């Protein structure tokens, strides 16, 4: 950072540079970095780098857990407490036909959560 400032020809106090750098940061990163101790501009840059990677890992975990939990949602039972005999017969026949007709689009891979194949 200091090397770039020397090449461009910017000369200012380190405190001024640090305050400018902090004002240009993402709000989440800025709030976390304000709580951490640093001695100079280089340490501040390294802290920001670490905090940014931590935030990226957290968002990746959240996205992964959301997609993982959505694939295992519970089925909601029907509003009728007890089905009639006719409905029971219909359910039995529909279950027989649906079990015979397993499509490849219905198969879901447990590893990548995509449809149409199974991880081996």
The whole-model pTM stands at 0.47
Task: Classify residue 92: in a domain, yes or no.
Answer: no
Give, for 77, the enclosing helix (H) or strand (E). Answer: none
Task: Classify residue 106: in a domain, yes or no.
Answer: no
- Alpha-carbon distance of 42 to 48, in angstroms, equals 10
Task: Classify residue 85: in a domain, yes or no.
Answer: no
pLDDT of residue 39: 93
Task: Classify residue 86: in a domain, yes or no.
Answer: no
pLDDT tier, 10 (very low <50, low <70, confident <90, very high otherwise): confident
Q: How many domains does the chain have?
A: 1
Task: Classify residue 28: in a domain, yes or no.
Answer: yes
> How far, in whole angstroms, is CA 39 from its chain's centroid?
33
Task: Classify residue 108: in a domain, yes or no.
Answer: no
Domain that holds residue 25: 2-70
> How far, in whole angstroms, is CA 53 from its chain's centroid?
13
- Alpha-carbon distance of 119 to 67, in angstroms, equals 18
- Alpha-carbon distance of 99 to 91, in angstroms, equals 12
Q: How many residues does the chain have?
A: 120
Tell me which range, 45-49, 68-72, 95-99, is most confidently predicted by mean pLDDT: 45-49
Task: Classify residue 47: in a domain, yes or no.
Answer: yes
Task: Classify residue 55: in a domain, yes or no.
Answer: yes
């Amino acid at each position: 950072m200091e090397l770039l400032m020397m090449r461009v020809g910017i000369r200012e106090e380190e405190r001024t540079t640090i305050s400018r750098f902090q004002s240009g940061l993402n709000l989440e990163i800025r709030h976390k970095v304000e709580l951490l101790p640093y001695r100079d501009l280089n340490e501040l840059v390294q802290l920001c780098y670490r905090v940014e990677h931590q935030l990226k890992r957290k968002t990746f975990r959240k996205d992964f857990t959301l997609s993982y939990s959505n694939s295992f949602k519970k089925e909601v039972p029907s509003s009728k407490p007890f089905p009639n005999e006719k409905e029971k017969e219909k359910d039995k026949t529909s279950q027989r036909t649906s079990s015979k007709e397993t499509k490849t689009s219905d198969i879901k891979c447990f590893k990548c959560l995509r449809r149409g194949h199974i991880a081996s």
